[in-house]
């Protein structure tokens, strides 16, 4: 059913760990060639090597235009171009707004929002130059639809991702380029482990009680796995979603915050 993906080339940012690594694995399983692009260049190289020699690992800092341009250019040189961008790199931290420093705000906005702008712009320029019907899937968050306490700076950056995705999708639809984003809930990754520790401290609970609270908020009764998100990204990247664009698709096991 996903046979048409075989041989397509993808860039996955933040692909060395967590959700990004699961996306890279799903793309590999579908027969795609994957460029794993991550701030942690060593981990990106290792992850790509584990998938196989047809894949590549590259260093990227999605906050920096020069880094994005150089990384994407290296993919063009190695793969001859690319068809799919999964813009997934992201960071979080948990603080009350009254305690937020400028640096907290800037860090979240730079990685999560500016990183989406820079990577999406580079991909769209490539697709247009090659006259290619490319696909972009951004990783937003349920916190991009609902303002999450202690995560105001993160929520603001993810609302930006949802708005940017909708706007860009409408701009490039006439060229056959599709742009969507996924909104995961409570996903079991390194980011979540760090958030559990922060939240336990802020709410004066044990980490185990915080995790149980996440599960209690999830109608499907378990924590989300990175693969749950990655399968949805694969769907959006495929022709099965050929008439889907500008969407922010929840992948949460039914968690709703509104
Ligand atoms: P993670 O921390 O496990 O992995 C993030 C990856 O991004 C790491 O490999 C890291 O090195 C990389 N990265 C960080 N800054 C970067 C930069 N400037 N340039 C390039 N790469 C960078 O996180 P995760 O949980 O897998 O999160 C992936 C995405 O999913 C993020 O956008 C996150 O906001 C989003 N998300 C996560 C959850 C969750 O519960 N874990 C929920 C909703 C949305």
Strands (E), the chain: 9-13, 33-38, 56-59, 84-87, 135-139, 178-184, 248-251
ipTM: 0.99
Cα of 179 to ligand 1 centre, how many Å? Answer: 19
Neighbours of 232 (CB within 10 A): 21
Identify the bridge partners of residue 158 per DSSP, sorted by sequence position.
none
Task: List the catalytic residues.
Answer: 154
Closest Cα to atom 44 of ligand 1: 141
Phi, psi of 249 (to 5 degrees): -90, 120
Beta strand pairing status for 56-59 and 33-38? parallel
The pLDDT, as a whole number, for residue 1 is 61
Query: What separation in Å is there between the alpha carbon of 71 and the centre of ligand 1?
Result: 18
Decide if 218 contacts 224 (C-beta within 8 A): yes
pLDDT for position 237: 98
172-177: long-range contacts, CB 8 A cutoff, minimum separation 24: 172/124, 172/127, 172/128, 173/245, 173/246, 175/127, 175/128, 175/133, 176/133, 177/124, 177/127, 177/128, 177/133, 177/134, 177/135, 177/136
> Tell me, what's the pLDDT at 2?
83
Name the phi and psi angles at 38, rounded to 5. -150, 155
Which residue's alpha carbon is at the smallest distance from atom 12 of ligand 1? Answer: 14
Report d(CA 104, CA 42) in Å as an integer.
26
89 lines ligand 1 (CB under 6 A): yes
**Does the pTM exceed 0.90?**
yes
Ligand 1 nearest-atom number relative to CA 18:
26
Q: What is the tens place of the pLDDT at every residue in 48-87?
A: 999 999 999 999 999 999 999 999 999 999 999 999 999 9
pLDDT per position as a tens digit, 204-230:
999 999 999 999 999 999 999 999 999
Pocket of ligand 1 contains residue 253 by CB under 6 Å: no
* Euclidean distance between the first and the last CA atom of the chain, given in angstroms as a whole number: 35
Partnered with residue 187 across adjacent β-strands are 224
pLDDT of residue 247: 98
Residue that has been written with the tokens 């790509």 in this structure: 48
CA separation for the pair 233, 115 (Å, rounded): 18
Task: Confirm or reject: Cβ of 14 under 6 Å from ligand 1.
Answer: yes
Low-confidence stretches of the chain (pLDDT beneath 70) = 1, 258
User: Which domains, from first to last, does the chain contain?
Assistant: 3-187+225-251 (3.40.50.720)
How many residues are recorded in the chain?
258
* Contact in structure between 164 and 202 (CB atoms under 8 Å): no
């Amino acid at each position: 059913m996903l046979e048409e993906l075989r041989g397509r080339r993808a860039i996955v940012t933040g692909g060395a760990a967590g959700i990004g690594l699961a996306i890279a694995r799903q793309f590999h399983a579908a027969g795609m060639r994957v460029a794993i692009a991550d701030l942690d260049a060593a981990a990106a190289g290792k992850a790509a090597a584990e998938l196989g020699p047809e894949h590549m690992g590259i260093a990227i800092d999605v906050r920096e235009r020069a880094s994005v341009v150089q990384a994407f250019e290296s993919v063009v040189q190695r793969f001859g171009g690319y068809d799919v961008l999964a813009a997934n790199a992201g960071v979080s931290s948990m603080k009350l707004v009254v305690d937020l420093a400028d640096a907290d705000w800037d860090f979240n906005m730079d990685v999560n929002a500016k990183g989406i702008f820079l990577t999406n712009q580079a991909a769209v320029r490539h697709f247009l130059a090659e006259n290619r019907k490319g696909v972009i899937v951004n990783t937003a968050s349920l916190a991009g639809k609902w303002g999450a306490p202690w995560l105001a700076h993160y929520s603001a950056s993810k609302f930006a991702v949802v708005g940017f995705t909708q706007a860009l999708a409408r701009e490039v639809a006439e060229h056959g380029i599709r742009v969507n984003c996924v909104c995961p809930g409570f996903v079991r990754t390194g980011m979540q482990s760090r958030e559990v520790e922060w939240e336990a401290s802020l709410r004066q609970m044990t980490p185990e009680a915080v995790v149980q609270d996440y599960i209690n908020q999830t109608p499907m009764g378990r924590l989300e796995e990175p693969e749950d998100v990655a399968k949805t990204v694969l769907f959006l990247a495929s022709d099965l979603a050929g008439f889907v664009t500008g969407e922010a698709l929840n992948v949460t096991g039914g968690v709703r915050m509104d």
